[in-house]
Amino acid sequence: MSLPDVAELDLATKVGQLFVVGFEGPEPTEDLRELLTDYRCGNVIYFSRNIDSPEQVAELSRELQTIATEAGPEIPLFVTADQEGGVVSRTDWGTEPPSQMSIGAGRDADLARSVGGAVGAELASIGVNFDLTPVLDVNNNPDNPVIGVRSFGEEPELVGDLGAAMADGMQSEGVLACGKHFPGHGDTSADSHHSLPVVDHDRERLDAVELAPFRRAIDAGIDAIMTTHVSFPTITGDDELPATVSRDVQTGLLREQLGFDGLVVTDGMEMNAIADEMGTPEGCVQAVEAGCDLLLVCHTPAVQKDSVEAVIDAVESGRIDESRIDDAVERVLEYKERRGVGQQTPSLDRWEATSDRSREVGREVAAAGITVARDRNETIPFDTGRPLHLVGFPGGRASPAEDDRYEPTLVADALEAGGFDVELHEVETADALPSFEGDEQVVLATYNAAGDDEQVRAVERLDEAVDAFAALVVRNPYDLARFPDVSTAVSTYDYTPATLSVTGEILAGRRRASGRLPVTIAGFEAEN
């Protein structure tokens, strides 16, 4: 398909090509139809709320492409999603990859490339042509509430190498990859969904840590970079200015200093760090002025429409020169053509041809990444011929970016499949623990215990009372800092089906864990 020249497009169509809009439910809403036709929005984003099954997503993608191309110039949509793996996986049918921190624990760039290829092939089969990953943030702050296991780890070189490899694999399947969150969201203790974090390191430190993975990915040819709503006063001179709307960051640093000529994509413009500071419509105008090409407005139809109108008004009033719009649209069209967007028909048959590969690669990642951080008493393997007691605490989303699927029953089911006779005890406090005999086998699955004193008390109590005990750190490896003397600890980094299945095999002794912690845990000495 040959796409039209920018000169052939009217202003409304050009501005529409800059917007990536979300919607509610598994079918096109009337608001979405209006955004794609009357407002000419040229791109969409899927969240878990839009996804039921591979067949449904393939049909949805076909329908949206038809709506968009029949409404005006035949320009196909970027269909985007945050399919990072682990706790940010928009699909929920068993093929989602483990978290990036699990890949980091395995430290294998070839495996990262395989993950990118498998995810890219599966997404392409259901009509998703733009994956908003890899996460290139260096997670060196254990109190970070939004990145954590979404990152490959705390070593800039490792993060850059694995991120570049994952992007290469994804792009080899015709799906755009997008490194995020530039210039770095790893060393923050606030979540930009809720407020404006500040990273106030000097330029030497930023070059060595935060910027290094982005430079590596850019040099390797990544298609897109996503901005972050974090303040970098060393670059901007203003500790209240989000990087997304800073020309010093997006044009001066990213374009001119780092030499990036791909797509610059904003993070969600309805996040509080933008919405509360300047409002989403004004934020979109400022992001275009700063040098961004694609604007994510993901949730509210009225805000989406106001934002499109605000950018059009800014051009018509002379605030934004139309050449800035043309530059962004040329880049959007270039990448739609380069990656063959809209040229393949999504289908269930195509998905079925990719799903086995996704599952197998997921198991390879889990086997390489799951970490037996300590096993002083050689508790592992547990005896499958005896009952295994599993104690589980409830989970929940640590950030609005995450999907909320964790339940202790997921762990119990995986251990049952691994050959154990499991008795599950779901509790919310340490005082609710059953009374176990010293010779019983007990596993306690922690979930964000770093912020939960009850889970910490439960681990300490069981480790003292039971000989065959292990703490299974299901999500956040920083939990280990809260019980640094525990006798046996296993870190899984996520609760995807692949990860929990392999965990069951490791605890049963049928597979050996080989991962190493990719982050430093204060006060905890790993013994693997």
Tell me which residues are annotated as active site.
Answer: 193, 267
Q: Is 205 exposed, middle or buried (0-12, 13-18, 19+ CB in 10 A)?
A: middle
Coil vs helix vs strand at 443: strand
Contact 444, 471 (CB under 8 A): yes
List Cα–Cα distances, 87 to 98, 364, 468, in angstroms: 8, 18, 29
Identify the residue whose tokens are 């606030």: 190
* Strand locations in 183-255 (E): 224-227
Residues 6+ apart with CB under 8 A from 164: 109, 216, 217, 219, 220, 222
Identify the residue whose tokens are 């215990």: 449
**Alpha carbons within 13 A on the beta-carbon side of 92:** 17
Task: Write out the two tokens for 37.
Answer: 């036709």
Cα distance from N-terminal residue to C-terminal residue, the chain: 54
Residue 444, beta-bridge partner list: 391, 471
**What SS3 string covers 267-319?**
CCCCCHHHHCCCCHHHHHHHHHHHCCCEEEECCCHHHHHHHHHHHHHHHHCCC
